[in-house]
């Protein structure tokens, strides 16, 4: 005869003690025993299916990251969605989904996803904004100010980090313009903040 395994999950609470004191007598305490608040009994088969569900979510995440590493953004996006469907609380899967959107060129959706999950999964928002800043720094280094401004137009104007990126582009453009096409140094400024070229 096969033995069937059972898992019993019980939530217990300790009820507060009641105390009484009368003048001239010491305090007495009456303790009440632990009382089961809720009991759930599940067969091992149901527990096994829950474990299998988490392992299948893990396999889906692994598959999604493989697509991501191969720069197959659409496939990665779909696989991350499948993984999230199995495990909606998987932060790595949601981060992968956001970065798949970002790398596919859908910057607005990636940024919006990060903003929507800011309270529950703050790393998603942080990864997207740090990627934006890194890309803007790279474009500035390459002297691609117009490309950086076009790229930043995909994002809202009310975000502090995006505003910081816009300011970085404006400052770099101002400095490059002041230095001239050959990078020569500027002449004496006429007044603070206004530079004149020779």
**Average pLDDT over the chain, rounded to an integer:** 75
The answer on pLDDT for 11 being more than 50 is no
In the structure encoding, which two tokens stand for residue 128, read together? 């997207």
Q: Taking the model in full, what pTM does it have? A: 0.62
Q: 55 versus 116: which is more confidently predicted?
A: 116
CB 17 within 8 A of CB 30: yes
Q: How confident is the model at residue 142 (pLDDT cuts 50, 70, 90)?
A: very high
Rounded to whole angstroms, the Cα distance separating 89 from 169 reads 37
Do the Cβ atoms of 91 and 61 come closer than 8 Å?
no
Question: How would residue 33 be classed by pLDDT, with cut points 50, 70 and 90?
Answer: very low
**CA atoms of 48 and 1, how far apart (whole Å):** 20
Phi–psi pair at 157, nearest 5 degrees: -90, -10
135 has pLDDT over 50: yes
CA distance 141 to 26: 79
Q: How many CB atoms lie under 10 A from the CB of residue 58?
A: 16
Which residues does 173 contact at the CB level (< 8 Å), separation at least 6? 145
* Cα 37 to Cα 7, 42, 73, distances in angstroms: 16, 17, 48
């Amino acid at each position: 005869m096969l033995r069937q395994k059972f898992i019993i999950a019980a939530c217990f609470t300790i009820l507060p003690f009641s105390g009484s004191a009368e003048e001239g007598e010491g305090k007495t305490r009456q303790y009440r025993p632990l009382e089961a608040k809720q009991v759930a009994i599940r067969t091992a088969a149901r527990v096994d299916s829950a474990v299998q569900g988490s392992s299948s979510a893990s396999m889906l995440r692994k598959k999604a990251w493989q697509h991501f590493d191969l720069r197959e953004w659409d496939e990665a996006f779909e696989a991350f969605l499948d993984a999230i469907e199995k495990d909606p609380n998987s932060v790595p899967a949601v981060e992968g989904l956001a970065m798949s959107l970002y790398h596919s060129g859908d910057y607005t959706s990636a940024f919006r996803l990060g903003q929507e999950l800011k309270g529950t999964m703050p790393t998603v928002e942080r990864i997207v904004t740090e990627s934006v800043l890194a890309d803007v720094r790279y474009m500035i280094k390459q002297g691609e100010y117009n490309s950086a401004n076009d790229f930043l137009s995909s994002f809202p104007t009310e975000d502090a980090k995006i505003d910081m990126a816009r300011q970085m582009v404006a400052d770099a453009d101002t400095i490059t313009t002041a230095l001239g096409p050959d990078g020569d140094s500027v002449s004496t400024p006429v007044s603070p903040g206004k530079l004149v070229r020779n």
